[in-house]
Structure 1
């Protein structure tokens, strides 16, 4: 299991070694690295100094100032075309690194419309859908909820809840964002609560999956906790660690 790959194709190419499958919970694109301001689409275009300033404004939750600052830098450029070209270059490298089989869903910074161009045979993209692996049913919910960050794939609470509802009962609930629990949504470095999903939390209480697996929060207050019968796990900020999180189980009937 990996999440928040953010351009780390080198480690991704090794992440599935020894596993029966790789599951990716989204955020393949790296627009701006909050830990290393020299990495990402934004500093490549506008330099490290401007990246540092943008991070400062966002971290201080001065989102309107951050947007105004960025608008000034983009003046005279075709923002959509430039970003789309950079995203395509990152996707080409990331999707080439996926092993077979890979099961993936979108993160909030991803561009779902581009995925069919790069998902090769052996990579299955799932969103509001289920699969069976080794006797367990996995359900996938991609994307994020609307926030002041205005990232590319944010949807309404109602749209998100509909995708969760479509899954029904599953053994492993896979999503990019966490359920809406303060300990799981608070980022200790960014010093803010990220958006979690109430619909995911309600599904956990209602259907009692074995696991709820997610990413999105890079430095969570709590990486793992139980909600009733469900083990909730942030599988990690793969861009920084380069390490996958392993889920192991014995198939029904195995000896």
Structure 2
């Protein structure tokens, strides 16, 4: 059995619970908790205070990037120092992650709020960062493509459409495609809480239509209108918002 999670966002106690089962673990990005939109908790709150975190979370949740830029520019701190403080808070989160994954056979890609350089440094030797790679398990080929869709924020965990296309082209034909972001299918990218269509990936949708993997696993959309969809022969599954649910998606390779 393979356990698959996404959007851990700092819920490392819950992650420890499933990591201790001894089963292979996939983490499809967003281990870091930049800001929990529900509570304001996260790296921004640690570095800049909970009220500022709540204000920026509200703007981000509404997709108001102009307001986000205004808030960041209005902060009295030096911008480079602010960024450094947030990077440090995220790096500290990864330090809490490391012992949880120690000795666990697993594979991880980064999500949009992750900092790939800090994530890679914190991974124990048993856990592989596999962005742009293929892994053979149980006679199946799993292809991994991390990163979030590019936004005006230009966060380190984001990738452009061109970068995603290049990554996917390097995977060739796979049995199971694993990404952080959703394909550009409206019910899969619509968040029923915010009522908005979140950013999703046209390159991933084109790759699925062209190569037709048996299964596509992803996360990123926390409260999707639809968590499952079919694109031709490909079954698409949002594996869930792990920080909120604490539940993994269970995949039996023999069932595919």
Q: Is the 8 A contact 1:178 1:184 kept in 2?
A: yes
Q: Is the 8 A contact 1:135 1:251 kept in 2?
A: no
Match in the other structure for 2:125 = 121
Selected match of 1:97 from 97, 100, 103: 100
Give the Cα separation in 2 of the matches to 1:172 and 1:74: 47
Give the Cα separation in 1 of the matches to 2:237 and 2:37: 23
Q: Secondary structure at the match of 2:69?
A: helix
Q: Which runs of 5+ in 1 are unaligned?
A: none
Q: Is the 8 A contact 2:177 2:213 kept in 1?
A: yes
Aligned residue pairs total 251
Match in the other structure for 1:138 = 142
Match in the other structure for 2:115 = 111
Selected match of 2:159 from 150, 155, 158: 155
Per the TM alignment, residue 17 of structure 1 is displaced from its structure 2 partner at its CA by 4.4
Give the Cα separation in 1 of the matches to 2:125 and 2:63: 42
1:12 paired to 2:15: yes
Decide whether aligned partners of structure 1 residues 133 and 74 sit closer, same or farther in structure 2, where only a CA change above 3 A counts: farther
Deviates more, 1:74-83 or 1:210-219: 74-83
Q: Secondary structure at the match of 1:239?
A: helix
Give the Cα separation in 2 of the matches to 1:221 and 1:148: 25
1:63 paired to 2:65: yes
Give the Cα separation in 2 of the matches to 1:129 and 1:250: 22
Give the Cα separation in 2 of the matches to 1:221 and 1:198: 18
Match in the other structure for 1:27 = 30
Q: Which runs of 5+ in 2 are unaligned?
A: none
Selected match of 1:210 from 209, 214, 217: 214
Match in the other structure for 2:74 = 72
Per the TM alignment, residue 176 of structure 1 is displaced from its structure 2 partner at its CA by 0.3
Q: Deviations over 1:145-169 (max 9, x none)?
A: 2124543321211111010111011
Give the Cα separation in 2 of the matches to 1:60 and 1:202: 28
Give the Cα separation in 2 of the matches to 1:61 and 1:175: 22
Q: Deviations over 1:42-83 (max 9, x none)?
A: 223333333332233333333222222123225246123211
Q: Secondary structure at the match of 1:107?
A: coil
Q: Is the 8 A contact 1:144 1:176 kept in 2?
A: yes
Give the Cα separation in 1 of the matches to 2:131 and 2:255: 24
Decide whether aligned partners of structure 1 residues 59 and 249 sit closer, same or farther in structure 2, where only a CA change above 3 A counts: closer
